[in-house]
Structure 1
């Protein structure tokens, strides 16, 4: 009798384990969160992500590999991405056509890039937990981090789960930085760069805890971040959850873009989303490893002043 009871308990535990594994594989918590926000209707003070449709899907970026990080330069109207094993920055047209390559000497694990203003960009080295402020002029074809301003602040551990994405917030003159996992979090760094071009003397680092609930509950990792200045909203990209999530300044979730087959016109899942940026028209650009390029656009009627 005891033997039969033990078998039943073991089978029940095994069934529960299989259900949990299935839910994890299907990313059920992320899917539920996405569908919940879809049911809430359109957002009135942000991007109406539910109505976005893919315009360019999985376009290969030439022969490049390991694309990671993406930023839009509003002054040039072009995008910049990084290749993290070859330490190359690639400038792209908005349809994904390469414009030029810039070799970065002195680093071998670039993960993030963001445009600050004029010719200035911040790039992130994940393995070394370092951020550099680089000047990339129109004719620049190579640059060395030894000639750049190095930013280090309290996080000096080495490894592959450190700085994963960066985004410049010109409204508050701060850099938004995300850490991939263990633990994953969002922080801001003020004092890195002054809009007049002068480096400030004191940096202020703040853990933005208003996003912690979402990170702990439904975003399995953080692969990139972008700040949308027109709405004041933060967009967090999760490769493992296959979601781009929109948040207001208080950390309230405001809808999402699902990167699964069947959503937003996608014919296939986005395999490994690593970089995201948004242009002045509200178009969303995503790069995925190994070298895939995506553009999501709102319907014409949804384009509005925010």
Structure 2
């Protein structure tokens, strides 16, 4: 076949390969295998060891929840909290996924994530206004008004709803970690939110060291959590169906695939939007609209 006649075939084949990779998210699986088999030798003692996690509660449907998004673990109450972004509610759950309490929230637009700080203090991400909002939840409360609560606006993008999507409290470094979903995706560190007085400036830092690490390996950033036990930053990507762990030197040290057949899953996790990690290392995932997952570590 003449060389010039081969070019259309080469182009068509290349296009087919690229489209297949994008459609089937094959690059996510490639990164999954790479990180789990190329992690540095010190990983075992310095990471969660995600490759050895197995699903214990697989897609439990929680009645009465719609558009559940975000997750956090409260060490004091030993319970989980999620937010309903369409109904403006905070929901408290047991570690087995039982609804314990629903709290109506006034003064928010589009809640996407929640993180527990200490005692009865929480911070929520209001994606519609790109704000962090301090929430004080009294024990047993079923309603809370945050209209006049402490707020921090991080910026605004009126042309897209792909704004700040996740938040996590990093108690060791006394900061909040905030992720922007995509276009572009990045991670911010926010210090001084609670201590600031009128007129004080906050320390808001773009953690650029992660930019190249997540540019091609994660399609979006749905949530973030910080694990004190290993000093690990853990990112969740819904579009890649992937959880990735980074150590204190920003090295990727493991991954957990939310794909059918991986880690015992009977089906893909359809729309993972929230992640929390308990003191024992158990990983809790909330998938819109109301699916609950628990992964636990199994010794190899």
Q: TM-score, normalised by structure 1?
A: 0.92
Contact 1:58 1:293 in 2 (8 A): yes
Deviations 1:28-56 (A, max 9, x none): 22111111222247632111111110000
Question: Which residue number corresponds to residue 122 of structure 1?
Answer: 123
Stretch moving more, 4-13 or 289-298:
4-13
Contact 1:187 1:205 in 2 (8 A): yes
Instruction: Report the Cα distance in structure 1 between the residues aligned to 2:132 and 2:275, rounded to whole angstroms.
Output: 18
Stretch moving more, 36-45 or 79-88:
36-45
Deviations 1:192-240 (A, max 9, x none): 124xxx8693310001112112211210100000000111110000001
Question: Which residue number corresponds to residue 157 of structure 2?
Answer: 157
Question: Which residue number corresponds to residue 25 of structure 1?
Answer: 23
Instruction: Report the Cα distance in structure 1 between the residues aligned to 2:262 and 2:197, rounded to whole angstroms.
Output: 44
Q: Secondary structure at the match of 1:210?
A: helix
Q: Secondary structure at the match of 2:129?
A: coil
Question: Which residue number corresponds to residue 9 of structure 2?
Answer: 11
Q: Flag the 1:46–1:199 CA change in 2: closer, same or farther, 3 A.
A: farther
Q: CA RMSD in A?
A: 1.8
Q: Secondary structure at the match of 1:21?
A: helix
Contact 1:191 1:199 in 2 (8 A): no
Question: Which residue number corresponds to residue 135 of structure 1?
Answer: 136
Q: Secondary structure at the match of 1:240?
A: coil
Q: Secondary structure at the match of 1:44?
A: helix
Instruction: Report the Cα distance in structure 2 between the residues aligned to 1:48 and 1:193, rounded to whole angstroms.
Output: 33
Equivalences for residues 187-266 of structure 1 within 5 A: 187-194=188-195, 201-266=200-265
Instruction: Report the Cα distance in structure 2 between the residues aligned to 1:86 and 1:163, rounded to whole angstroms.
Output: 19
Instruction: Report the Cα distance in structure 2 between the residues aligned to 1:37 and 1:146, rounded to whole angstroms.
Output: 44
Question: Which residue number corresponds to residue 94 of structure 1?
Answer: 95
Instruction: Report the Cα distance in structure 2 between the residues aligned to 1:131 and 1:221, rounded to whole angstroms.
Output: 20
Instruction: Report the Cα distance in structure 1 between the residues aligned to 2:254 and 2:213, rounded to whole angstroms.
Output: 12
Q: Secondary structure at the match of 1:205?
A: strand
Contact 1:89 1:101 in 2 (8 A): yes
Q: TM-score, normalised by structure 2?
A: 0.93
Instruction: Report the Cα distance in structure 2 between the residues aligned to 1:230 and 1:203, rounded to whole angstroms.
Output: 27
Q: Flag the 1:199–1:255 CA change in 2: closer, same or farther, 3 A.
A: farther
Contact 1:65 1:290 in 2 (8 A): yes
Contact 1:113 1:123 in 2 (8 A): yes
Structure 2 alignment gaps of length 5 or more: none
Equivalences for residues 52-91 of structure 1 within 5 A: 52-91=53-92
Deviation at 1:147, TM superposition (A): 2.8
Deviations 1:78-128 (A, max 9, x none): 000001111111000000100000111122311010000000000011121
Deviation at 1:131, TM superposition (A): 1.1
